[in-house]
Structure 1
Amino acid sequence: MSTLKTPTPTATTEEGGATTFAAVHPDLLRSHILTRLDGPTLASASSASSQLHALAADDHIWTNICHSTWPSSSAPRIRHIISTFPNGGRSFFADSFPLALPDPTTNSPSNLHPPSPSPSSSSSPELISAVDIHYQNKLIFTKVQETETLTGWFLCSPFRIDLLDPKDMVHTAIKHPKGDDMCTDLAEEMSLSWIVIDPITRRSMNLSSYKPVSVQRHWLSGEVQVRFASILAGDKKGSASELVQCGIVVTCGASEEGEMQVREVNLQVDDMDGMFLTGKESLVILQRALEGKRGKGGRKREEEGRGIYQEYLERKRERGERKLRTEGTLDTLCVGFGLSIFALFCFFVLCR
């Protein structure tokens, strides 16, 4: 008595079946398919099957993705730090690709103790910035900068990282946009990544909104300031630093030949009253955010970054209005109290 044989799942197309991943040699998948994927696509593919999950864990693939996504990550110091992350390039990408989110659970009183500035502190003695700027999908600026965090000057001064000296400027081969559409062009065509790395805790995060949140042209110099930002949870609820803005400003101008120049790139942290935070205050917030939540990846980064920034501006506006109303009430009370004192004084004089 004959039995019917069920076709195996690895049947080829010539045999009338569909070729599955199990039938493809792992080296072919690893070398010719997975290496062509970007980070988000590779992460999605790794959840499709146990075989793809194992192949997608290859650190060499993730390291190459990091280098192609952020050219600054190919610098020798950054390459070494990435190799120390728990899962190498995959961990670095998972930390750095999504946007950092303002996690309200991180600003509870138990989390508000600033690190000691002494050399024996567990806080990192430095923060490393890996910055890349693209315009029309072309790299126009890349730099790695180390910032010491234990000096008295850093802890007491307003937090600020400048990537270019005042007299320095980066020349590009790209024509600077002209006319009324210049700001619109930069808002649509420029992207920036500012990855902050703590080499001690082996964590990283991206402080950029990926796309600009605002573009403004200076009325006198003609230079254009392109702003990127991320919003992080700061101090206790109700305070000016309940939410803080990590603002990145890229100043662009045109050379005599009409080519774009990058003249300034800096990062500062300010609260909802517009006051700049010190290095010590900023370091506490940044270190807490490094352990916090991350947002979405892919194309939704742009929408999410701008959306969070607009919510921050709305809350900042509401806080300003409340502050004005409070100050107005206090002024009225002070004037009323002064008039009452003056009236009592006049009454006392007249009664004598």
Structure 2
Amino acid sequence: MASSVEAPPPSSSVVNGSLSAVHSDILETHILTRLDGPTLASAACVSSQLSSLTSKQSLWTNICHSTWPSTDTGPRSFFSNSFTNPDPDITTTTNHDHCRSSELISAVDIYHRNEFVFSKVVETETESGWFMCSPFRVDILDPKDMVPTRIPYPDTDNTCRELEEDFMLSWVLIDPIGLRAMNLSTYKAVSVQRHWLSGEIQIRFGSILSGGQIVVTCGGTKGGEMHVSEVCLQVEDMDGMHLNGKDILVILERGFEGKRGNIKGREVKGKKRYEEYMERRRERKEKKLKREGRLDMLCVVCGVIIFSFLGSFIFWR
């Protein structure tokens, strides 16, 4: 009978699962480069060795570039500001301090089923009287631009609604003077509707800005492929009036300076906030119509009384 041979006991470093058993080059080159941003940030808290390895700027540069193709470089702080969720309860304020930057940079990336569709960087000046007094709106595409895609144009309303889960949008707003950034978008769409007149598909994304909406308009023909014809950001108040640039700068300053939260559940919370906002707008509009209706009725009654009084006065005279 062959005698059994016992295997040597494993080293204590392997038994305890110590990272010291893994060479730092293997960790840095073959393991850490495969992690996404949140996982890499969590790994930095495990040990001093991982904290040192994850501080390499090249790791965060690659993550920023893969997450937002519109940026070819991006420091660790940029990822932290843009990936986490600023305070969602940003509203207008009477404080007149506003964003110090003379321009804002919008880095926009659109995906469909995790496949890259479109990317562009746009600069917006913030010092002119035109910007301060005009309704705030940032257009990523020029009116005559059109971005072709390989996405089939939806033939039915059911197919149209499916786009709500398929599209993802990132809108990173950058303050180049203050070296600050934040992501305005809810990532996932909050509604998809077909325009009643043109028939184009309007994909709406919520924003952390109160009343803010990011609208992606896509055209196309049945049996063909979609094309992106418009990507814009605009902000409205509860009465549906567009806020001007001066008001927006105040709101943006609070967003840049606000505390950052966890990105988890951002899509669900964003859609819920959007639906709550639209419901409040609907209720406000109904109350306004009822109030105007009562006022109109009062004017009619007063007119009838005055007309009757004048008629009686003329008759008896």
Query: Quick check: TM above 0.5?
Result: yes
SS in 2 for 1:263: strand
Task: Tell me the equivalent position of 1:143.
Answer: 120
Separation in 2 of the partners of 1:114 and 1:336? Answer: 49
1:335 Cα deviation from its structure 2 partner: 5.1
User: What CA distance in whole angstroms lies between the structure 1 residues aligned with 2:184 and 2:37?
Assistant: 19
How far is the alpha carbon of 1:145 from its aligned partner? 0.6
Shift in Å, 1:108: 5.3
Residue 292 (structure 2) aligns with = 327
Equivalent pair of 2:213/2:234 in contact (CA under 8 Å): yes
Distance 2:221 2:300 in 1: 57
The whole-number CA distance in structure 2 between the counterparts of 1:345 and 1:274 is: 42
Match of 1:130 among 103, 107, 111: 107
Residue of structure 2 aligned with 1:258, choices 224, 227, 232: 224
Deviations 1:42-93 (CA, angstroms, capped at 9, x unpaired) = 122222333323322222211211110110011xxxx3xx4xxxxxx22111
**Mapped partners of 2:144, 2:40: distance in 1:** 42
Q: What is the aligned partner in structure 2 of residue 238 from structure 1?
A: none
1:214 alignment partner in structure 2? 191
1:168 CA displacement:
1.5
- The percentage of counterpart residues that share the same residue type is 57
Among 84, 94, 100, the residue aligned to 2:80: 94
Structure 1 counterpart of 2:67: 69
Shift of the 22–335 alpha-carbon distance from structure 1 to 2, 3 Å rule, reads: farther
Q: More deviation in 187-196 or 249-258? A: 249-258
Aligned twin of 1:228: 205
2:89 is matched with 103
Question: Which of 41, 45, 49 lines up with 1:47 in the alignment?
Answer: 45
Distance (Å, rounded) in 2 between the aligned partners of 1:68 and 1:21: 27
Counterparts of 1:184-333 in structure 2 under 5 Å?
184-232=161-209, 244-254=210-220, 258-298=224-264, 300-331=265-296
Q: What does the per-residue CA deviation read over 1:286-342, in whole Å, with 9 as the maximum and x for residues that have no partner?
A: 2221212444324x2221211121221222223223333443454455556656666
Task: Look up the equivalent residue of 2:48 and give its one-letter code.
Answer: S
* 8 A contact 1:127–1:149 mirrored in 2: yes
Structure 1 pair 70–334 and aligned structure 2 pair: CA distance change class (3 A): same
Give 2:156's aligned residue.
Answer: 179
Q: Report the 3-state secondary structure (helix = DSSP H, G, I; strand = E; otherwise coil) of the residue aligned with 1:73.
A: coil
Give the distance between the partners of 2:165 and 2:306, measured in 1 at CA. 61
SS of the residue corresponding to residue 167 of structure 1 reads coil
- Contact 2:155–2:223 (CA under 8 A) maintained in structure 1: no
The equivalent residue for 1:6 is none
Q: Aligned-pair distance for 1:147?
A: 0.8
Letter in 1 for 2:230: E
Residue 146 of structure 2 corresponds to 169
- Contact residue 177 and residue 185 of structure 1 kept, 8 A: no
Deviation string, structure 1 residues 267-297 (Cα, Å, up to 9, x no partner) = 1111111111112222221222121244432
- The one-letter code sitting in structure 2 at the alignment partner of 1:258 is G
Cα-to-partner distance string for 1:5-43 (whole Å, 9 max, x where unaligned): xxxxx7244xxx233123323332222211111111112
* Contact 1:99 1:305 survives alignment (8 Å): no
Q: Is the 8 A contact 1:130 1:196 kept in 2?
A: yes
Matched, 1:113 2:99: no
**2-structure distance, mates of 1:57, 1:175:** 43
User: Displacement, 1:94?
Assistant: 1.7
Matched letter for residue 88 of structure 2:
P
CA root-mean-square deviation: 2.8
Whole-Å separation in 1 of the counterparts to 2:48 and 2:301: 76
Assess, with a 3 A threshold, how the Cα gap between structure 1 residues 114 and 11 changes in structure 2: closer, same or farther: same
Please, what TM-score do these two structures have when normalized by structure 2?
0.85
Whole-angstrom distance in 1 between the partners of 2:189 and 2:127: 31
Distance change in 2, residues 1:179/1:350 (3 Å): closer
Residues 38, 156 of structure 1: alpha-carbon distance in 2 compared, 3 angstrom cutoff: same
User: For the structure 1 residues 49 and 314, does the alpha-carbon distance in structure 2 shift closer, same or farther, using more than 3 Å as the test?
Assistant: farther
Q: Check whether the contact 1:99–1:208 (CA below 8 A) recurs between aligned residues.
A: no
